Structures are given as structure tokens and as C-alpha cells.
């Protein structure tokens, strides 16, 4: 059995979560494991899943309501021991500085571009595998 990578996707918008699933497919690149998703619609659910463990990468919607993904990212980077890499979805390219402020490991713009998103997610999965974390 091949290993799988667990990707947490946070957005209050089910369409955004769907875009992430579609852009990823079974795996974002041939050299990374297949992906299994855990979907969260609230910040509390994100924290609960991270406490449970086993998350390889987080994808957080910067446009989510009531708490955007950048705020959630900053919080989990401060509070979660060995926080997994975070990919933030941003509304505009000009918001990249906010993603940096939130300490996100990568950022892509909405709507999700499948090629850009898959490349960013695969890069974070590779990094996670190399670090062995």
C-alpha cells in the first residue's frame, strides 16, 4: 500500500474547498503521495484536527469568514508544536505581503489555478518529506 498525505483544507465556502480538491486530483505531482483531504469550515475545527495530529499540509482560505486563513495561519504557527506547512489562498496578488506576515509557507491566488496550486502543494509535500516532520 502506498503512503498517503493528509491535507487539511479550511474554508467556509464549500466551492473553494471543491476547487482545492479538483486542482489536486489524486496527487498534485507524480513524485508525491496520493492525497487524502480533511475539510474544515471553522477555525475551531482546524485546531481540533491539528490537535488530533497526522496533518501533512494545511490549505487555508484567506478570504474565509469569520476568521480568514491568514489569521488562522498566524495562530497555528504560534500555537501548534511542529506546525505543518501552510499554503494560503489569497484574494489578490497584492495580498502576498499578508501571507508573509501570517508566516505561510506558500500562497496562491483565488480562484484556484490548478497548475499553480498543484505545484505549490507538491512543493510543500516534498519539503515535509525531506524534513521528515
Task: State pLDDT tens for residues 43-92.
Answer: 999 999 999 999 999 999 999 999 999 999 999 999 999 999 999 999 99
Q: For all residues of the chain together, what is the average pLDDT?
A: 94
Least confident range from 14-18, 57-61, 91-95: namely 91-95
Residue 1 has pLDDT above 50, yes or no: no
* Closest alpha carbon to 45 in 86, 13, 4, 9: 9
CATH of domain 4-131: 3.40.50.2300
Q: pLDDT at position 2, please?
A: 58
Residues shown for the chain: 133
Starting at the edge strand found earlier in the chain, the sheet holding 106-109 runs: 34-40, 4-10, 57-61, 86-90, 106-109
pLDDT band at residue 132 under the 50/70/90 scheme: low
Q: How far is CA 12 from CA 44, 50, 64, 84, 100, in A?
A: 12, 17, 6, 21, 22
Looking at residues 1-19, what average pLDDT do you find? 91
Amino acid at each position: 500500500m502506498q503512503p498517503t498525505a493528509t491535507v487539511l483544507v479550511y474554508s467556509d465556502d464549500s466551492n473553494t474547498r471543491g476547487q482545492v480538491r479538483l486542482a489536486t486530483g489524486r496527487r498534485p505531482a507524480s513524485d508525491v503521495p496520493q492525497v487524502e483531504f480533511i475539510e474544515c469550515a471553522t477555525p475551531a475545527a482546524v485546531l481540533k484536527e491539528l490537535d488530533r495530529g497526522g496533518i501533512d499540509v494545511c490549505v487555508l482560505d484567506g478570504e474565509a469568514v469569520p476568521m480568514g486563513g491568514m489569521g488562522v495561519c498566524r495562530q497555528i504557527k504560534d500555537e501548534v508544536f511542529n506546525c505543518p506547512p501552510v499554503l494560503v489562498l489569497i484574494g489578490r496578488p497584492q495580498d502576498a505581503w499578508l501571507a508573509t506576515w501570517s508566516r505561510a509557507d506558500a500562497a496562491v491566488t483565488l480562484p484556484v489555478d490548478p497548475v499553480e496550486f498543484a505545484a505549490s502543494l507538491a512543493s510543500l509535500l516534498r519539503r515535509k518529506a525531506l524534513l521528515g516532520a
